[in-house]
Amino acid sequence: MTLDPSSHSLKTLLNPRSVAVIGASEDQTKFGGRLYKTLLHHRYAGAVYPINPGRDSLFGIKTFPSVSATPTAPDMVIMALPRDKVKGEIAACAERGAKAGIIITSKFSDAGPEGLALEREVVAVAAAHGMRLIGPNCLGLISPVNKLVLCSSPALNVEHLIEAPIGFISQSGALMGTLFDRSHGMGIGFSHCVSVGNQADLELNDFIEFLIEDERTQVICSYVEGIKSPQRFVELARRARAAGKPWLMVKAGATADGSRAAYSHTASLAGDFAALKAVCERENVVMLDDPLDMLSLARAMVRYPRRAVRNVAVITTSGGGGAITADQLSHAGIPLARFGAATAEGLAEHYSEGQAANPIDVGGRKHEGTDELGVVTAELALADPATDLGLMVLTTAPDVPGLTRQLADGADKPAAGGKPTLYVMLPGRVAVPARAHLVERGLPYVDTLAEAMSVLKGWKAWSDFREPAAPVRPAHGYAFERPAAGLLGEAASKALVGRAGLPVNREVLVRSADAAVDAAGSLGFPLVLKVVSPDIAHKSDVGGVALGIADANDLRERFARMQSRIAEAAPHARIEGYSLQAQESGELELIIGARHDAQFGAQVVVGAGGVLVELLKDVAVLPAPVDAASARRAVETLKVAPLLGAYRGRGALDVDAVVDAIVRLGWLAHDLSQSAAPGEDFEIEVNPLKVRLACQGAVAVDARARIGRA
């Protein structure tokens, strides 16, 4: 629905001059009572209109029987009414001139078609008067910078709100309250927190846009369950990047589509989550698995704005802790900083031989008389040009608070250059005073190494981002002609990708052993024989593939054996013939594929191919079209990437040919998406793409495609 252009900006809505609490009460067992008291407790400076027809005043503030009786139209109203009363109340508020409303009530679109229909009616009633809505099925908002709390969560029962330039938009109200509670205890504050609920009117992207423009927000955090406007999401990611504001995100439902049936492997390997992840990687929206880790990273990025982290120096109170930390950093792909000679010499004055390397074990000191060893160590390690971040791993020791203070003091020394630090507070009660000291100084900490690795991986991903180049169409050898809708057999699929410039092997369709023997002379042995059937998607599963056919006699024998196996395994399959193909050699088998994602459009996939594709699930997904540099980086992320290099006397493989195939398939995917009718999609799979030695190319020896609706 298009809303009235006079609708008010979120900057105004999140800083209202007046708030009406419908159902306000002094009874703390009721939603209206808890919310009303919390709003007053946090010293909201605007006018408060408690709506309660049964009371003259509440907590000393005059009440009103309805919104129509308030002295002025409220900027914001909030309500948690029975579902059947919401529409009427919103209509009354909209007619009164209220600018915005928060609907806590659930059982709208979250409860089925009837609720969805009512939800749309409520939005229409509000929109007719230019009133904006948050929710329904939400928990409200918390705006510390505006001293505005419109949320009934017990997490708000704190003496004061912590202000920090972190904005958090959540599609879960309960999660927002939980994270606010945990964050407050860790000294993490916010500029604004908003629970968007069903997003019937104002949605996630609206609030992300607000945070991008908000001068009091430096880092954007989001918990996402579904994205209503994918293209706007992409545009906002680019705006956030241009504004220098990191955007961190946790997405629910990462594995929901992983097991769905698909015509090809491509769709299951590049499901909805993989498509979103690919877009986020291209736009530098950093995805994390745990929402608390997301907020810990946000706090660190706020404390150390625009700092890149690609390696770390570890300072620990335990040799074992240092070894475990080094292992976990290696698994996470985060290298240890390599100290220069000056740093090594400086540390050697205080540490025994072998104890001053990275990780540094402060227990390996040369003598006990060294005062403030933590200060000296942190200053030296962070002053080294090779160090990006100091990872302080504290275990149970005689004076954890004292050493924590020393490390923080050393990091504050001018020579340390203001480089980031992250503290891992492994002890329990022993470290309570140390945690309090870090909170007081505004320094980021986590309680486990797993949390630290998550934070550092996210920070490194943000730091490693490179602005993608504009994709360039192949200069020659590319032609596009949209095929007719339907399932394409192997020959038609190869023709489709062949027109895009991918090399494909030669083949002939035969229907008998005699015809196969006659055709073999033009192809040359060895040969491959494959069944051709619209009813058999995975030919090898039914014995429909024969490799390495050596001569005419072998061809006749393998032909008969294949017919027998298929008759037993797939007796009802329609057999259109058999594809006789020149057998191509290659050193490595990859899969490349393409599909249309319902939200983000064309996608291209590359990964480990052949019969191991489902077992390994070693793939990278890229939005299409894709530039050559991004395609190359994607190939380099694969687990099988080392096999593309020189290995035990075998030369390196032709990575350039793989990159060219990805780029060409990406443009084919783009052109198919652009030429599709509404609701149409496609899947293309080349598996395997046989990769040869450097400068010898790659060749597609099998392909399948589906064009049009699934």
The number of domains in the chain is 5
Name the DSSP letter for residue 425: E
Residue 480 lies in a domain: no
Residue 340 lies in a domain: yes
pLDDT at position 195, please?
A: 95
pLDDT tens-digit profile of 31-43? 888 999 999 999 9
How many CB atoms lie under 10 A from the CB of residue 113?
A: 8
Residue 524 lies in a domain: yes
Write b or e for each residue in 40-51: b if 16 or more Cβ atoms lie within 10 A of its Cβ, otherwise e.
bebebebbbbbb
pLDDT at position 262, please?
A: 44
* Residues 345, 426 share a domain: yes
* Residues 329, 439 share a domain: yes
CATH code at position 650: 3.30.470.20
Which candidate, 498, 443, 459, places its Cα nearest to that of 219? 459
Q: Residue 672 in contact with residue 596, Cβ under 8 Å?
A: yes
Domain boundary among 112, 136, 160: 136
DSSP 267-330: HHHT-HHHHHHHHHHHHTEEE-S-HHHHHHHHHHHHHSTT---S-EEEEES-HHHHHHHHHHHH
Beta strand 619-623 with 360-361 is: unpaired
284, with CB counted inside 10 A (0-12, 13-18, 19+), is buried
* Residues 50, 163 share a domain: no
Residue 484 lies in a domain: no
Residue 476 lies in a domain: no
CATH code at position 560: 3.30.1490.20
Is pLDDT larger for residue 678 or for residue 206?
A: 206
* Residues 637, 540 share a domain: no
Which candidate, 92, 58, 64, 76, places its Cα nearest to that of 18? 76
Residue 489 lies in a domain: no
Q: Residue 273 in contact with residue 249, Cβ under 8 Å?
A: no
pLDDT tens-digit profile of 374-406? 999 999 999 999 999 999 999 998 899 999 999
* Residues 445, 331 share a domain: yes
CATH code at position 5: 3.40.50.720
Q: Residue 167 in contact with residue 214, Cβ under 8 Å?
A: yes
* Residues 166, 118 share a domain: no
Mean pLDDT estimate for the chain: 91
* Residues 70, 100 share a domain: yes
* Residues 531, 543 share a domain: yes
* Residues 610, 701 share a domain: yes
pLDDT at position 546, please?
A: 93
pLDDT tens-digit profile of 244-270? 999 999 998 766 443 343 444 444 444
* Residues 455, 314 share a domain: yes
Bond from prior residue into 359 cis (ω within 30 degrees of 0): yes
pTM above 0.75, yes or no: yes
pLDDT band at residue 12 under the 50/70/90 scheme = confident
Residue 274 lies in a domain: no
Residue 199's domain comprises 138-254+289-306
Close Cβ partners of 29 (under 8 Å, ≥ 6 residues apart): none
Q: Residue 277 in contact with residue 252, Cβ under 8 Å?
A: no
Report, as an integer, the average pLDDT of 676-694: 92
Close Cβ partners of 287 (under 8 Å, ≥ 6 residues apart): 248, 249, 250, 251, 277, 280, 458
Report, as an integer, the average pLDDT of 603-617: 83
pLDDT at position 519, please?
A: 92
pLDDT at position 352, please?
A: 85
Domain boundary among 555, 582, 609: 582
551 has a pLDDT exceeding 50: yes
pLDDT tens-digit profile of 449-464? 999 999 999 999 999 9
Residue 498 lies in a domain: no
* Residues 561, 677 share a domain: no
CATH code at position 172: 3.40.50.261
pLDDT at position 8, please?
A: 61
**Cα 492 from Cα 302, distance rounded (Å):** 54
Length of the chain: 710
Report, as an integer, the average pLDDT of 130-138: 94
pLDDT tens-digit profile of 273-320? 888 999 999 999 999 999 999 999 999 999 999 999 999 999 999 889
* Residues 596, 525 share a domain: no
Domain boundary among 121, 136, 151: 136
Q: Residue 391 in contact with residue 313, Cβ under 8 Å?
A: yes
**Cα 276 from Cα 230, distance rounded (Å):** 9
Report, as an integer, the average pLDDT of 175-191: 95
495 has a pLDDT exceeding 80: yes
**Cα 293 from Cα 300, distance rounded (Å):** 11
Residue with tokens 């050493």: 403
Identify any residues that bridge with 700 across adjacent strands, giving them in sequence order: 504, 689
